[in-house]
Amino acid sequence: MAVTLQGLATAVPPTVLIQNEVRDVFAAQPGLSRLAQRIIQTSFDVSAIETRYTTLSELSNTPRTAEDGPPVFFDLATGELLLPGTKARNEIYAEQATALYVEAGRAAIDACPAIDPADVTHVVTVSCTGFYAPGPDFMIARDLGLDPGVQRYHLGFMGCYAAMPALRLAKQLCEADPAAVVLVVSVELCTLHLRSSNDPDTIVASSLFADGAGAGIVTARPPAPGERAFVLDGFESRTTPVGEGDMAWKIGDHGFEMVLSNSVPALIDEYITGALEPLFAAEAPLAAALEAGTAGEAVAHWAIHPGGRSILDKVESRLALGESQLVPSRAVLRDFGNMSSATVLFVLREILRSDAAASGDRVAAMAFGPGLTVESALMTVSG
């Protein structure tokens, strides 16, 4: 029984951040040390990001009106980044994330000609950038008019890799019930937690993270004729023996606090081959190619979570991938930044829409997060 990922859809909020303009705002904040100013300049300039999206309309260059009230995150008149508390940030998350969950979920259903909202049996939502209850799984079911008995699950606070276990859970649900239709939706509003700081980890996070949503339908129902999809062949999860303190996500008094050390690319470089071994082990040709250092020849397409430019560089070098094989990941990083768990869904959609992806092509997907955790999947292009 083939379980497929269909109807891949993405959504972003309307406010665009131009990377060099954001850099200049962060560099001009009061209280920065000279070292912090140098780190800001370097982090933003080498990020390989040109644009990102944010749910915070205050970060645009549009002057506020009296009806808007006082600024909460950014005072355009003074150019100063403000420091709202976690409660204020999370209240915006509850409002703005709900809209993106519903938008992306509706788009995924609409993209599947043979599936209606009434067909959805399960909803799996993903996020690490906010909390509320009733949660996004409830809001999707309510606003999309899903069956009152739809089963709902939320994977929270797992980090950038979380869309992968969500897809794996969806596949398992479909294997247990061949009639299942699982709507998976990931929404991350990372920019709610950006702030001025002298801390290098916080500066790097401010140069990378963005807002976005990704969604798809996982089901054993065959795609409609002519519809492109991914057959979900298998998943694996591995944690590295070191690096637990190098990537973390904690709740602070002024938003969530990211730990993202400069050791992460080196850790991925050291352990990525070992993390792929269990995924490729079930298929002898793939296992042999990985051992021989020719994985890039055995698998046509690579959906690598673009956690940052240096991470993509390390993956490309260690696995001896061709430059073209990371074009989708680098394009998503350039145009959207790092949207945490939603990002790999953007990369998969980029691959599926590409003329380079033919029916029967194999795809390896990987995402990284706290632990250090490496989640991977093998897929096959269908249609």
Per annotation, catalytic residue among 128, 160, 174, 190: 160
Q: Is 366 in contact with 303 (CB distance < 8 Å)?
A: yes
CA distances from 206 to 17, 58, 258, 313, 344 (A): 12, 16, 10, 20, 20
Rounded Cα gap, residues 245 and 340, in angstroms: 18
Rounded Cα gap, residues 16 and 101, in angstroms: 19
Rounded Cα gap, residues 199 and 189, in angstroms: 21
Token digits of residue 382: 């269908």
Which residue, among 4, 80, 9, 3, has the nearest Cα to 349 in the 3D structure?
9
CA distances from 55 to 73, 98, 104, 114 (A): 11, 12, 15, 32
Q: Dihedral through CA 315, CA 317, CA 319, CA 324, nearest 10?
A: 80
Q: Is 352 in contact with 303 (CB distance < 8 Å)?
A: no
Q: Is 247 in contact with 261 (CB distance < 8 Å)?
A: yes
**Residue 190 annotated among the catalytic residues of the structure:** no
CA angle 196, 200, 205 (to 5 degrees): 65
CB atoms within 10 A of CB 361: 16
Q: Tell me which residues are annotated as active site.
A: 160
